């Protein structure tokens, strides 16, 4: 079956940029997502990108998509302590049911002072 | 502005006991989902309900049953709990099930420990 992979941990210094990477196997991906999970809370959609886009920017967030390499990244500029969370990459292929969304294992971002 | 509400937030069970996790959403969404989250494994879909009156198995349905009580409520039942079911359970909803961006709205989770 299809798979989404991401590294489990990332530590960055406050004020630096964070880059969280994700690779996926589904060549028919239409939407790719980044969800954020703060401690003790559920997941919340942070941003998404449609597969015909290369980049999407939203304030401090930049999403880059390399369809050829099936690689997605999330860059957080000027990382703050409030950005400490687990970030999940997810994708869905075609125009499938949302039940087909595949999640990565999540990257825990920790911020050093 | 509740969104998706799950109860209970925490539960400890002994092996073999049964329990039901409750979920309700107030966004008038048609589709609802139950996931489990285990360390290093991301989210895995247990069951989902694309619309009121329908339920379907997800990736890991064994040991669970669900009921879509009405459009708002979707419950998850463990008939005979096992230690392997120790996990954090998330309920989610979306509207509609297909044909849009597929954004899922999650509850805060229910942490279940089976001894």
**pLDDT tens, position by position, A22-66:** 999 988 888 899 999 998 899 999 999 998 889 999 999 999 999
Tokens encoding A111? 């911020």
- Measured between beta carbons, which residues in chain A are less than 8 angstroms from residue B102? 31, 33, 92, 98, 101
The rounded distance, in Å, linking the Cα atoms of A102 and B9 is 25
Is pLDDT at B27 greater than 70 in this prediction? yes
Interface test with A, best of B42, B54, B96 (most A CBs within 10 A): B42
Measured CA to CA in angstroms, residue A20 lies from A33, A60, B12 at distances of: 12, 14, 35
Is pLDDT at B97 greater than 70 in this prediction? no
Which has the higher per-residue pLDDT, B76 or B51?
B76
Cβ separation B104–A98 shorter than 8 A: yes
């Amino acid at each position: 079956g299809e798979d989404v992979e991401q590294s489990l941990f990332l530590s960055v210094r406050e004020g630096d940029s964070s880059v969280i990477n994700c690779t996926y196997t589904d060549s028919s991906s239409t939407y790719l997502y980044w969800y954020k999970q703060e401690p003790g809370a559920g997941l919340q959609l942070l941003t998404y990108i449609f597969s015909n886009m290369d980049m999407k920017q939203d304030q401090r967030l930049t999403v880059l998509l390399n369809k050829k390499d099936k690689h997605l990244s999330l860059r957080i500029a000027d990382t703050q302590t409030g950005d400490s969370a687990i970030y999940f990459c997810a994708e869905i292929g075609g125009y499938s049911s949302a039940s087909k969304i595949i999640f990565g294992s999540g990257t825990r971002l920790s911020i050093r002072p | 502005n509740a969104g998706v509400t799950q109860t209970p937030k925490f539960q400890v069970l002994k092996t073999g006991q049964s329990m039901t996790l409750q979920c309700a959403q107030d966004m008038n969404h048609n589709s609802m989902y139950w996931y489990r989250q285990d360390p290093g494994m991301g989210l895995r879909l247990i069951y989902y309900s694309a619309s009121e009156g329908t339920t379907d198995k997800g990736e890991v349905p064994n040991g669970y049953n669900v009921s879509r009580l009405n459009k708002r409520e979707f419950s998850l039942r463990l008939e005979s709990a096992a230690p392997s079911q120790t996990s954090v359970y998330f309920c989610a909803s979306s509207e509609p099930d297909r044909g849009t961006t597929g954004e899922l709205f999650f509850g805060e989770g229910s942490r279940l420990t089976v001894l």
